[in-house]
Structure 1
Amino acid sequence: MPSVVALVVAAGRGERLSSERPKQYLPLGERMLLAHSLRRFTEHPGIDHVQVVIDPSDSALYEKAVQGFDLLPFVAGGETRQGSVRAGLEALTHFHPDIVLIHDAARPFVSSNLIDRVLDGLAHTAGCIPVVPITDTLKRLSARQEVTSGPDRNGLSAAQTPQGFRFASILNAHRTCGNDSLTDDAAVAETAGLPVAAVAGDPYNFKITSRDDMTRAEAMILPPMETRTGFGFDVHRFAPGHSVTLCGCSIPHNAQLSGYSDADVGLHALTDALLGALGDGDIGTHFPPGDPQWRDAASHQFLEEAHRRVKERGGRLINLDLTLICEAPKIGPYRGQMIARLARILDIPEARISIKATTTDKLGFTGRDEGIAAQAIATMTLPVNS
């Protein structure tokens, strides 16, 4: 059997998609995008080794991405894609592989069947690449974005990776190419006069270059989601004191709230809203009032535990809407502080949190200034049937 090495090119910057980090290190599900591409090759029985070419400045991200994979030591890339591929090929010379498959890290959905087709195609040729037919009508655009006639799409196909080659042939082609601006290895092979055959590509083996591509990839890899809504309600009476704690913030007042833990009526209502959306009991179920360990406890612990249960189920908070009902204290001056505190507790953007206050026009126990009530609604996404 011929020896086969997969060379995964991951040295690009991918700044069209993210300015924070190269796209191959963006999260895709539970792992980085690069890890999904690598898994396809490390699990394939026909691949002997996997070599990755990276930008050395990304080495910390790379080490996180490849945890658990059995890989050859990474190779530092070059100024261009061709330079990176050439560096990877040169690093493989002491292995003397028969075949090399060169793959773009930003194609995380290459299938085992596609890898097989490329390997099979190399039985009688020096190079083989997967292609997909172009079905859309092609148009040229002027500098002013005016549409002009485009090339005839008949006979045109879009090239994908992995592109497979006889190792010695493609290494020599890269060494002698003289043109460092070619966009794929088939073009390098053609400049050296190497025959390159085509096999059927896979429309799911798309290259991630834009936010829309990433959204499509996330939809493919994440479980189907549904939206859940939970409602929470809580009440605490006033007792002698000098401040109340609402949403983790201390607010000066001529009384304090009395009750379970620190009696933070806002956080208690929010905790019940999260648990309600999960169908996971209520705050009393998880933190029994009679349990002495929760006496005078900070209520953010309850909300953090409810949020941990959301994340454990694969959920994500979309929105929190809290209404505080009281005659006093005035909530408005502290609304921003409370929203910021909730955002830190739950690690979600402040824009996803709403806090409102209202009175009951002197009616009922809140109207008599005997306590504070809170209503909360939490909206989240959860995997279907979770």
Structure 2
Amino acid sequence: MLCAAIVVAAGRGSRAGGALPKQYHSVGGQSVLRRTLAALCAHPGIAAVQVVFHPDDAALYEAACAGLAKLRPPVAGGADRQASVQAGLEALADLAPDIVLVHDAARPFVSQALIARAIAAGAEHGAAIPGLPVTDTVKSVDDAGLVSGTPDRAGLRAVQTPQAFSYDNLRAAHAAALAAGRMGLTDDAAVMESAGHNVQVFEGEAQNVKLTHPADLARADAALTPRLDDVRMGTGFDVHAFGPGDHVMLGGLAIPFSQGLDGHSDADVGLHALTDAILGALCDGDIGAHFPPSDPQWKGATSDRFLAFAAERVRARGGVIAHLDLTLICEAPKVGPHRDAIRACISEIVGLPVSRISVKATTTERLGFTGRREGIAAMASATIRLPEETLPEETETP
């Protein structure tokens, strides 16, 4: 049987707060709508997905659906949910599916198993909805807020989506409701009931929650964001001698000076030390392993490329840089006047707030090669956070 899905995404979601409709809020790095669409598009039993959206959200929608298969061109929704679903049903007329699922855009946790149960139940019964037993006591109240009754919760169900129906029957039921002026029905089961159809309830899922309020979005974001419990620190050290030139590169900043620094690249001791600190925290070799001085392509290269590379290695592992600390060791030039500019340069290279970047300077009290003004040294530390790895269990050697 041919099955299509309608995703209702035209609402404004004002209760969720913020400038965006709730279906375009980011949870775990992706929009709510994209997560919902990806789940439906991934199911082999669904041939096509029809989104009903608000035309004002066209740019947001295009970003949310980029790269997803099975999506038909979106259609504009109506004044309420009932009208929006009817618009989606009419848009599917050329496909004429046997079964249609209707799903809320704001339910991104729908599982493949629940989708499969919905398709099967819709095919068997012609009208089926997922539901959960009500565990709280429910009260009826009057306009004054006084309790007027206590329904038996044994006969109550909290209803979810996707709801599954015979396409022809649901389309006819919507047309009949419109003709009779029965408007404001809050789900498609109610539309089918109004047309005299029986609606079967099948097992829903507790995690298939609808995101409505700001707290719902916050909980969803926390649930979908990996826990970065593997905290690591690495250190780096670098030295470059003075040579001919009229400036030195320190922390990505060109500082006017009577000499330059000798090196295969631009000899930025600060960025080299930071690069090694990050690579050290990753246990990923050192700067020489990734950018060997024997390779002519790195002759004169700017060191921001090295540091950006190391930062990207952290992101590729699903981690973040939490803090960078750089100490420059030299008698001259004076670093203090340039400290904030250096921090800003590093911030731009690694994508870390300036508040998480420390730059300090010291001398060796005229001792050693830096004290004799023969060059500059740098020490750095990097703190990163990675997702906790599951380590293999140790086995005893017999």
Q: Which residue of 2 aligns with 1:280?
A: 284
Displacement of 1:190: 4.5
Task: Name the stretch that deviates more: 310-319 or 294-303.
Answer: 310-319
d(CA) in 2 for partners of 1:66 and 1:150? 50
d(CA) in 2 for partners of 1:149 and 1:268? 71
d(CA) in 2 for partners of 1:20 and 1:326? 50
Task: For 1:1-386, list aligned pairs within 5 A.
Answer: 1=1, 3-14=2-13, 19=18, 22-25=21-24, 32-64=31-63, 65-122=65-122, 125=125, 127-135=127-135, 154-155=153-154, 156-175=156-175, 176=177, 178=181, 181-192=184-195, 194-209=197-212, 210=214, 211-219=217-225, 226-385=230-389
2:7 and 2:105 in contact (8 A); partners too: yes
The 1:328–1:87 alpha-carbon spacing in structure 2 relative to 1, beyond 3 Å, is: same
Paired positions, count: 377
Displacement of 1:19: 4.5
d(CA) in 1 for partners of 2:340 and 2:149? 57
d(CA) in 2 for partners of 1:74 and 1:202? 28
d(CA) in 1 for partners of 2:146 and 2:256? 69
Q: Amino acid of the residue matched to residue 224 of structure 2?
A: E
TM-score, reference length from structure 1: 0.82
d(CA) in 1 for partners of 2:77 and 2:335? 57
- What do residues 24-61 of structure 1 show as CA deviations (whole Å, max 9, x unaligned)? 45566686543432343334343333212223344344
d(CA) in 2 for partners of 1:364 and 1:332? 21
The 1:123–1:288 alpha-carbon spacing in structure 2 relative to 1, beyond 3 Å, is: closer
1:4 and 1:49 in contact (8 A); partners too: yes
Structure 2's unaligned 5+ residue stretches are 391-398
The 1:181–1:37 alpha-carbon spacing in structure 2 relative to 1, beyond 3 Å, is: same
The 1:181–1:254 alpha-carbon spacing in structure 2 relative to 1, beyond 3 Å, is: farther
Structure 1's unaligned 5+ residue stretches are 141-146
d(CA) in 2 for partners of 1:265 and 1:148? 74
Q: Which residue of 2 aligns with 1:144?
A: none
Q: Amino acid of the residue matched to residue 36 of structure 2?
A: S
The 1:322–1:165 alpha-carbon spacing in structure 2 relative to 1, beyond 3 Å, is: same
Q: Amino acid of the residue matched to residue 248 of structure 2?
A: V
The 1:240–1:17 alpha-carbon spacing in structure 2 relative to 1, beyond 3 Å, is: farther
User: Aligned with 1:96: secondary structure?
Assistant: coil
User: Aligned with 1:116: secondary structure?
Assistant: helix
2:130 and 2:202 in contact (8 A); partners too: yes
d(CA) in 1 for partners of 2:328 and 2:36? 49
d(CA) in 1 for partners of 2:147 and 2:339? 58
1:139 and 1:148 in contact (8 A); partners too: no
- What do residues 76-134 of structure 1 show as CA deviations (whole Å, max 9, x unaligned)? 22343333222111212343333321012232332232123333434565532212344
Displacement of 1:265: 1.0
Displacement of 1:231: 1.4
2:99 and 2:123 in contact (8 A); partners too: no
1:271 and 1:303 in contact (8 A); partners too: yes
Q: Amino acid of the residue matched to residue 61 of structure 2?
A: Y
d(CA) in 2 for partners of 1:334 and 1:179? 71
User: Aligned with 2:332: secondary structure?
Assistant: coil
Displacement of 1:300: 0.9
The 1:363–1:74 alpha-carbon spacing in structure 2 relative to 1, beyond 3 Å, is: same
Q: Amino acid of the residue matched to residue 308 of structure 1?
A: E
- What do residues 195-242 of structure 1 show as CA deviations (whole Å, max 9, x unaligned)? 3332221122223444423324424xx598633322111122334543
TM-score, reference length from structure 2: 0.79
Q: Amino acid of the residue matched to residue 303 of structure 1?
A: L
